[in-house]
């Protein structure tokens, strides 16, 4: 684990299923009697050479086969939260993908109760967290609406909804109904946009879905007027630098548009996305950009403060973290 040089922070873009480390995959496969299509950890790691978002998603969904019971989800969340806390994260707003488990025959109650227990255990380790249910944009919009109602019926402890998975070909417009319903329910709304899709996806997420934060959003830079709007409206961008490198959004970290984003004055936060797959947790991402771009302690402190401001925490918790 890296020596901590980064300020305490808040993580706002983290898929809990993306914290499934190879060692945990193998351990869960054994305990659940799931046969893996590779010999062990080494052979699995060799598959982490992604060409784009879809090539990652294919493995990400395949590996979820080992998650079967509430106890598995508890272990997954607790393991992540302990690692995040060790890296200086004080609060995490955690994405999960209900449909990715439902389609495998895992009951939503197992997922939700298991994660909720993991979050409770995280608090014992000094980190608070909340859940955001993400809908898979490559599945039918009606299914997203049904799943949201199931979450409501379960009284699932979610603070908001999000939108993830395959961006190209699945524009925000497809999900107007589920986002309208979430607003009615008083839930927060965020959406992945501008990761592989263009600036028009970011604009649609704001205009049609009422997104309060944009997850990734790096491609908004291609449209100066949109960028000016994001800055003026203080819409947070949850940027994930190591993810963008590993999914070939940029060739190397030095090519990442983070400095240009910071220059616009946008409310940028640094996050880890799927740390088990992309080579780093929140502290690793912060250290990597600090190193590559020579960020000052002052700039790192600004990034950490942005994450508190961009969070869905109540005012008293924000003040305590600022
Ligand atoms: C994701 Cl990096 C990324 N992009 C879109 N959807 C996702 N789900 C998990 N990780
Ligand atoms: Zn993501």
Q: 195 an active-site residue?
A: yes
pLDDT greater than 60 at residue 3: no
The average confidence (pLDDT) of the chain is: 96
| Integer Cα distance of 46 and 71 in angstroms | 28
Q: Which of 195, 204, 212, 233 is catalytic?
A: 195
- Check the annotation: does 207 bind a ligand: no
pLDDT confidence of residue 40 = 86
Within a 10 A sphere around the Cβ of 267, how many other Cβ atoms?
19
Residues in a beta bridge with 9: 89
Q: Are the C-beta atoms of 237 and 214 separated by less than 8 Å?
A: yes
pLDDT confidence of residue 5 = 65
| Integer Cα distance of 173 and 170 in angstroms | 8
Please report which confidence band the pLDDT of residue 1 belongs to, taking 50, 70 and 90 as the band edges.
very low
Dihedral in degrees, nearest 10, Cα atoms 274, 277, 281, 286: -90
Using the atom order of ligand 1, give the atom closest to the CA of residue 97: 8
Cα-to-centroid distance, 13 and ligand 2 (Å): 6
The single residue listed with the structure tokens 């927060």 is: 188
- Residue 255: give the domain boundaries: 9-311
Q: At what angle do helices 282-293 and 297-310 cross, to 10 degrees?
A: 140
Q: Whose CA is nearest to atom 6 of ligand 1?
A: 165
Looking at 105-109, 121-125, 127-131, 296-300, which range is the least confident one? 296-300
pLDDT confidence of residue 8 = 85
- 82 within a domain of the structure (yes/no): yes
**Span 189-209, average pLDDT:** 97
Q: Token digits for 86?
A: 């060790």
Q: Is the CB of 195 under 6 A from ligand 1?
A: yes
- 317 within a domain of the structure (yes/no): no
Q: Number of structural domains, the chain?
A: 1
Cα-to-centroid distance, 138 and ligand 2 (Å): 14
| Integer Cα distance of 7 and 263 in angstroms | 21
pLDDT confidence of residue 55 = 94
C-alpha 39: how far from chain center = 29
pLDDT confidence of residue 229 = 98
pLDDT digits (tens, 9 = 90+) for 142-159: 999 999 999 999 999 999
Q: Token digits for 91?
A: 């609060």
pTM over 0.95: yes
**Span 154-176, average pLDDT:** 97
**Span 5-34, average pLDDT:** 94
- 63 within a domain of the structure (yes/no): yes
Which residue in 243, 252, 246 sits closest to 293, CA to CA? Answer: 252
Q: Is the CB of 87 under 6 A from ligand 1?
A: no
- 225 within a domain of the structure (yes/no): yes
pLDDT confidence of residue 4 = 46
CATH number for the domain including 145?
3.20.20.140
Which residue in 147, 146, 117 sits closest to 129, CA to CA? Answer: 117
Cα-to-centroid distance, 216 and ligand 1 (Å): 10
**Span 46-50, average pLDDT:** 92
pLDDT confidence of residue 39 = 86
Looking at 40-54, 122-136, 174-188, which range is the least confident one? 40-54
3-state secondary structure the chain: CCCCCCCCEEEEEEEHHHHCCHHHHHHHHHHHCCCCCCCCHHHHHCCCCCCCHHHHHHHHHHHHHHCCCHHHHHHHHHHHHHHHHHCCEEEEEEEECHHHHHCCCCCHHHHHHHHHHHHHHHHHCCCEEEEEEEEECCCCHHHHHHHHHHHHHCCCCEEEEEEECCCCCCCHHHHHHHHHHHHHCCCEEEEEECCCCCHHHHHHHHHHHCCCEEEECHHHHHCHHHHHHHHHCCCCEEECHHHHHHCCCCCCHHHCCHHHHHHHCCCEEECCECHHHHCCCHHHHHHHHHHHHCCCHHHHHHHHHHHHHHCCCCHHHHHHHC
pLDDT digits (tens, 9 = 90+) for 15-29: 999 999 999 999 999
pLDDT digits (tens, 9 = 90+) for 231-275: 999 999 999 999 999 999 999 999 999 999 999 999 999 999 999
**Span 211-227, average pLDDT:** 98
- 318 within a domain of the structure (yes/no): no
Q: If 0-12 CB within 10 Å is exposed, 13-18 middle and 19+ buried, where does residue 130 land?
A: middle
- 274 within a domain of the structure (yes/no): yes
pLDDT greater than 70 at residue 226: yes
Q: Euclidean distance between the first and final Cα of the chain, in Å?
A: 25
**Residue 90 CB contacts under 8 Å (≥ 6 apart), including other chains:** 8, 9, 10, 126, 127, 128, 321
The length of the chain in residues reads 322
């Amino acid at each position: 684990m890296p020596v901590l040089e980064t300020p305490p922070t808040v993580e706002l873009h983290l898929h809990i299923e993306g914290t499934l480390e190879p060692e945990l995959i193998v351990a869960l496969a054994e305990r659940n009697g799931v046969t893996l299509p590779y010999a062990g950890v080494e052979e699995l790691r060799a598959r982490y050479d992604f060409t784009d978002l879809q090539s990652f998603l294919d493995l990400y969904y395949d590996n979820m086969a080992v998650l079967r019971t509430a106890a598995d989800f508890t272990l997954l969340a607790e393991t992540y939260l302990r690692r995040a806390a060790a890296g200086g994260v004080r609060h995490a707003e955690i994405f999960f993908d209900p449909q990715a488990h439902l389609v495998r025959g895992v009951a939503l109650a197992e997922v939700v109760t298991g994660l909720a227990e993991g979050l409770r255990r995280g608090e014992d380790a000094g980190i608070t967290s909340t859940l955001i249910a993400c809908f898979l944009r490559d599945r039918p919009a009606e299914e997203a609406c049904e799943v949201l109602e199931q979450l409501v019926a379960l009284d699932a402890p979610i603070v908001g909804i999000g939108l993830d998975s395959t961006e190209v070909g699945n524009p925000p417009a497809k999900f107007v109904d589920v986002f309208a319903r979430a607003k009615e329910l008083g839930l927060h709304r965020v959406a992945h946009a501008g990761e592989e899709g263009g600036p028009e996806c970011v604009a649609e997420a704001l205009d049609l879905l009422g997104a309060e934060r944009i997850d990734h959003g790096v491609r908004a830079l291609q449209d100066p007027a949109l960028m000016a709007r994001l800055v003026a409206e203080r819409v947070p961008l949850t940027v994930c630098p190591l993810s963008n490198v590993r999914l070939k959004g940029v060739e190397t970290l030095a090519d990442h548009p983070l400095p240009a984003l910071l220059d616009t004055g946008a409310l940028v936060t640094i996050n880890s996305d799927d740390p088990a797959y992309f080579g780093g947790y929140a502290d690793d991402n912060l250290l990597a950009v600090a190193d590559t771009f020579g960020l000052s302690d002052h700039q790192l402190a600004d990034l950490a403060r942005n994450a508190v401001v961009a969070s869905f925490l109540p005012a008293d918790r924000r003040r305590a973290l600022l």
